[in-house]
Chains A and B, each alone.
With several copies, the nearest count.
Chain A
Amino acid sequence: MHMADALLSPAVGATFWAGTIAVSGYASKKLKEQIDDKLIPLMGVLGAFIFAAQMINFTIPGTGSSGHLGGGMILAIILGPYAAFLVMASVLTVQALFFADGGLLALGCNIWNLGFYPCFLVYPLIYKPLVGGGKNPGRILVVSLLSAVVALQLGAFSVVIATLLSGKSELPFGAFVLLMQPIHLAIGIVEGFVTAGVINYVRSTRSEILESSAATISLGPAVSLKKVLITFAVLAAITGGALSWFASTHPDGLEWSIERVTGKDELPGQEQGIAPLLKGIQEKTAFLPDYGFKQAGKASKKGEPPPAWPGIEGGTSASGIIGAVIVLGMIVLIGMGIRAVRRRQNEQ
């Protein structure tokens, strides 16, 4: 669910960056105050750990497809929100640079979505108050699931908002939401299981790590898990209802998106998932030229002479296309020229 540069407008990209930089600055300042210099190498090495762990795939039961770790919640639980946010920012920076996941402008947005929500909303408002003493594995599991799901839902929703505000995509709000949220519900559940599994494992083998971590200092009074769960269920029902109402005001959008969502139980980014989807879309769009052609034909019947090539907007689009081909050709030539010169230099 990495946001991509190509979908962003400069204003939206810059806004997210501004938010991210502000939070990073705040987090750095907070950390500087309480710093234990042990934290710098720990943060760096844990960042590398998250990065490496994200590269490991596992099989999701029942689907045969594979998932991987996000890591925001684990970091927040181990390091506390400030350090976790910075580490998450670093992990995403490295991803943007080494895997080009998303791109550099979208990085601000991605850090916000995958770092801010888990560290500064979900961790202090859900995980920490609910987990209690952090001693009960069952409770850790439930709270981790809830936290991961909420964090990912917020992140996914944020992607939708950013994309819509940027205005580069035609997807209507309702359809987009219905496309993103269910997928991220699945991802969130998996993430929650993994988070709880790792935390419980660490707790059972080396509990001192969790106890000494910055995150567990000054635990607030434990809130009743039941109450919060009920509240969440109610909230979920309300938002679900609202969203589907919203979506149903865009009926055609709803129709096809439901079709897609139900036809597809894998995570995005899986080849198996996307290939048939793309194929379907190709089939859908195949009628477009045909359809357009008829329209053009109809227009010509009305007596106007059919627009001769290069078409309606005559000059502009023709010279545009010719120009594009020539410019591209020139760029390729320049590239090949430099390469040839280099090769000759190297040979000498």
Chain B
Amino acid sequence: MSHHIVEFQDVHFSYPDGTIALNGLSFKIFHGESVGIVGANGAGKSTLLMHMNGYLHPASGRIHVGDFQLDSRTCQEIRKKVGLVFQNPDDQLFMPTVYEDVAFGPLNLGVSPELVKESVDQALATVGCTALKDKPPHHLSSGQKSAVAIAAVIAMHPDILVMDEPASNLDPKSRRKLINLLKCFEHTKIIASHDLDLILDVCRRCILIREGRVAADGPTKELLSDKALLEENNLELPLSMQKCGA
């Protein structure tokens, strides 16, 4: 077994309309790490995440997840390992009730109904949404939707949790709850966000993407306090670090 769990090697990708979204991206993520992905609008963060479990396939370059190299045959296996939480929970909660939605993944994995029930209950309990079981997703508040979307993913017991902008549109308290929730996950975590304070709180390591390439990679604390580097990349110091110096 390899000790790194995700590896991108010189990955290139363009959208059909010609936009070059990934342009020679390379990095390794090891087991148990928590990694933040940051970068300007359009830097390629979402595109990168879409590669991580095989919705998009690189035009050139290689992607390894666990023991597999990503291609169309292995992508089913890889999807079991990688749980992706989408930016907009409405895209992800597609079943008519919360319970059915969380059960969707485990059922597709062929788990027996009793075990499904167990992991659904457990996942809902983890995010504190047991009471919402029978509600339709469109009757939930935004914070509840986010929580349920996470439950739906962790019910599949993935090795790696990948999230795109998990906290947008949450009120500060719900955002804080989410941060605490994320902090206590044991999973390998990869989080793309503009919320640098969230990244600072949750992730030890940070990868900065610019124009489809890695522009910087290092410990979050260091990277996110490098004012010049951040400015160059359309970012700025995390808010919680801004006033202190002043």
A–B proximity contact (CB within 8 A): yes
User: Interface residues, chain A, CB within 8 Å of chain B?
Assistant: 41, 205, 208
Beta-carbon contact of A41 and B136 below 8 Å: no
Q: 1/0 per position for B68-99, CB-CB distance to A under 8 A?
A: 00000000000000000000000000100000
Interface contact A208-B138, CB-CB below 8 Å: no
Q: What is the bound-complex CA distance between A208 and B16, given in angstroms? A: 8
Residues of A close to B136: CB separation below 8 A: 205
A212 to B, closest residue via Cβ:
B16
> Do A41 and B16 touch (CB < 8 A)?
no
5 contacts between A and B (CB under 8 A): A41-B94, A205-B136, A205-B138, A208-B16, A208-B17
Closest to A44 in B: B94
Q: In chain B, residues 55-79, which have Cβ atoms closer than 8 Å to a Cβ of chain A?
A: none
B residues apposed to A, CB below 8 Å: 16-17, 94, 136, 138
- State how many angstroms separate the Cβ of A36 from the closest Cβ of chain B: 14
CA separation between A45 and B210, bound complex, in Å? 34
Contacts of A205 in B (CB 8 A): 136, 138
Residues of A contacting B16 in the complex (Cβ-Cβ under 8 angstroms): 208
CB distance from A209 to the nearest CB of B (A): 11
Contacts of B138 in A (CB 8 A): 205
List of B residues within 8 angstroms of A41 by Cβ:
94
* A-B interface contact total, Cβ < 8 Å: 5
CA distance A205 to B138 in the complex (A): 9
- A348–B94 Cα gap in the complex (Å)? 39
Considering only CB atoms, which chain B residue lies closest to A41 in the complex? B94
Closest to B15 in A: A208
Q: Chain B's nearest CB lies how many Å from the CB of A43?
A: 13
Complex Cα distance, B104 from A41, in Å, reads 14
Contacts of B17 in A (CB 8 A): 208
Q: Which residue of B lies closest to A201 (CB)?
A: B96
Q: CA A29 – CA B94 in complex, angstroms?
A: 24
How far does the alpha carbon of A208 sit from the alpha carbon of B19 in the complex, in Å? 14
Chain A min CB distance to B57 (Å): 15
**What separation, in Å, do the CA atoms of A41 and B92 have in the docked complex?**
12
Of all A-B residue pairs in the complex, the 5 with the closest CB atoms, nearest first, are A208-B16, A205-B138, A41-B94, A205-B136, A208-B17
Which of chain A's residues have a CB closer than 8 A to the CB of B94?
41
The distance from the CB of B88 to the nearest CB of chain A, in whole angstroms, is 13
The answer for the CA separation of A205 and B94 in the assembled complex, in Å, is 13
Task: State the CA gap A41–B93 with chains docked (Å).
Answer: 12
A41 to B138, CA, bound (A): 17
- Bound CA span A243–B94, Å: 44
Distance between Cα atoms of A205 and B97 in the complex (Å): 12
Chain B positions within 8 Å of A208 at CB level: 16-17
Closest to B136 in A: A205
| Interchain nearest-CB distance for A39 vs B (Å) | 14
Q: Which residue of A lies closest to B139 (CB)?
A: A205
For the complex, what is the distance from the CA of A99 to the CA of B16, rounded to whole Å? Answer: 16
Closest CB in chain B relative to A199 CB, distance in Å: 16
A208 to B17, CA, bound (A): 9
User: Which residue from chain B places its CB closest to the CB of A206 in the assembled complex?
Assistant: B17
A41 to B17, CA, bound (A): 24
> From residue B95, how far is it (CB to closest CB) to chain A in Å?
11
Give Cα A41 to B136, complex, Å: 18
Quote the shortest CB–CB distance from B245 to chain A (angstroms). Answer: 46
Compute how far the CA of A120 lies from the CA of B94 in the bound complex, rounded to whole angstroms: 30
